[in-house]
């Protein structure tokens, strides 16, 4: 029966070309939507591996520090002590400007035994930032005072970077880069979701703040008491305190929980846009499928009547029309899948291969279900045509 359906469709290829194109475009749009949704779901299903509740990001750009490094360290320590005297502040740590959920990026690349990994998000913090953000250490340890005596600067890497660069091998005490000037790995943390619930955090690496960093660090993470986490009065009080400590600085205070929600909202916007486009395409395909089938039924009433007259049952007619629709969809899907598989093969957008493969499977299944539903009712109507009536009309 399948070769017969191919022959029937080929004989009417001009009529079916537009429908094939519509199904192809719909598949590609649904594939894009499915890829996003699968990737977002895989990220969402991962544990947060951090706790941003009651944590504020304070920036003081333009603040003037003493030029001497020792004086600069003493000045920063005095500022921290002044802030910690406020009972509402539980802990604080200097940080780079690429704080969690911010739009800032600080990336670099590292190599180990000839293998180089690029686009690594590097974060800076003090010894207590692990407790402040409640990061989960999987191997080794976090920074401490003892790291000041080592020749190689210490780093803590994320679990994903560890798997990419070292596989099952332990990375502890390995040197990233040159033996003399590289960074020594002292720990591995569970990958924190610094880019929100839906976006991939990529590779991460944490560096310890040293005196040289104080020249340009102008951000501080502060964990406050839960009782004042949403207290505008205390926020104003803190703003005035920071203004007195950094008189010429531009002070900004952001709640990490608010930034988290905004980051997730921004991630959802492209999904909504593609969903709207996909909805219009699905409606277009459904209407096109109905139109083609009704046209075929009206134009082929004599053929259907003749088939019924020579012994074909209503179910046979229904199966034929539904089968033709599925074959037309298969032509479009073969072309669509050919283009879709290029994405995992070429590692487009650095999306995991499994996300693309699942998206392809879901898109193919959706198109087949859509075509089946659209062709079932017209096929049932064609099956109800009586042979005598159809032949009489002809």
Output the six-digit token pair for 294: 């009704």
**Same-domain pairing of 210 and 266:** no
**Same-domain pairing of 229 and 155:** yes
Please state, in angstroms and rounded to a whole number, the distance separating the CA atoms of residues 323 and 372: 9
**Same-domain pairing of 244 and 267:** no
DSSP letters, 314-347, are HHHHHHHHHHHHHHHHHHHHHHHHHHHTHHHHHT
**Same-domain pairing of 130 and 73:** yes
Total of domains in the chain: 2
pLDDT digits (tens, 9 = 90+) for 28-80: 999 999 999 999 999 999 999 999 999 999 999 999 888 888 899 999 999 99
In a domain, 53, yes or no: no
In a domain, 257, yes or no: no
**Same-domain pairing of 290 and 229:** no
Model confidence at 390, pLDDT cuts 50, 70, 90, reads: very low
Residue 183 structural domain: 63-248
Q: What pTM was computed for the model? A: 0.85
**Same-domain pairing of 236 and 268:** no
Domain stop point among 197, 221, 248:
248
Mean pLDDT over the full length of the chain: 88
In a domain, 57, yes or no: no
Around 304, how many Cα atoms within 13 Å sit in the side-chain half-sphere? 29
| pLDDT computed for residue 180 by the predictor | 82
In a domain, 133, yes or no: yes
Around 121, how many Cα atoms within 13 Å sit in the side-chain half-sphere? 24
**E strands in 28-98:** 55-61, 89-95
pLDDT digits (tens, 9 = 90+) for 213-243: 888 999 999 999 999 999 999 999 999 999 9
**Same-domain pairing of 31 and 70:** no
């Amino acid at each position: 029966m399948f070769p017969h359906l191919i022959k029937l469709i080929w004989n009417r290829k001009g009529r079916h070309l537009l429908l094939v194109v519509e199904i192809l475009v719909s598949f590609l749009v649904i594939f894009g939507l499915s890829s996003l949704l699968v990737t977002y779901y895989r990220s969402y299903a991962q544990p947060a591996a951090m706790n941003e509740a009651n944590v504020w990001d304070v920036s003081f750009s333009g603040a003037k520090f003493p030029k001497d490094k020792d004086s600069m360290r003493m000045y920063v320590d005095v500022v921290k002590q002044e802030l910690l005297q406020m009972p509402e502040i539980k802990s604080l740590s200097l940080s780079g400007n690429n704080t969690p959920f911010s739009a800032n990026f600080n990336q670099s690349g590292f190599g180990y035994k000839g293998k180089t990994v690029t686009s690594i998000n590097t974060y800076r913090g003090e010894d207590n930032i692990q407790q402040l953000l409640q990061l989960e250490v999987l191997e080794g340890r976090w920074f401490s005072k003892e790291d000041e005596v080592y020749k190689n600067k210490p780093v803590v890497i994320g679990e994903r970077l560890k798997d990419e660069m070292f596989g099952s091998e332990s990375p502890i005490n390995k040197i990233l880069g040159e033996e003399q000037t590289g960074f020594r790995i002292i720990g591995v943390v569970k990958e924190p979701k610094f880019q929100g619930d839906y976006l991939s955090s990529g590779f991460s690496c944490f560096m310890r703040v040293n005196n040289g960093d104080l020249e340009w660090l102008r951000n501080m993470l502060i964990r406050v008491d839960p009782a004042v986490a949403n207290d505008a009065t205390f926020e104003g009080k803190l703003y005035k305190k920071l203004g007195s400590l950094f008189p010429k600085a531009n002070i900004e205070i952001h709640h990490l929980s608010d930034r988290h929600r905004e980051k997730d909202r921004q991630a959802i916007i492209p999904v909504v846009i593609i969903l709207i486009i996909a909805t219009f395409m699905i409606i277009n395909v459904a209407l096109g499928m109905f139109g083609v089938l009704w046209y075929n039924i009206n134009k082929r009433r004599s053929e259907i009547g003749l088939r019924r007259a020579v012994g074909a049952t209503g179910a046979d007619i229904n199966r034929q029309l539904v089968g033709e629709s599925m074959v037309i969809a298969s032509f479009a899907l073969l072309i669509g899948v050919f283009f879709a598989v290029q994405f995992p093969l070429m590692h487009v957008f650095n999306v995991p291969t499994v996300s693309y493969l699942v998206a392809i499977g879901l898109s193919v299944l959706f198109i087949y279900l859509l075509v089946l539903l659209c062709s079932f009712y017209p096929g049932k109507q064609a099956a109800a045509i009586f042979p005598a009536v159809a032949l009489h009309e002809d």
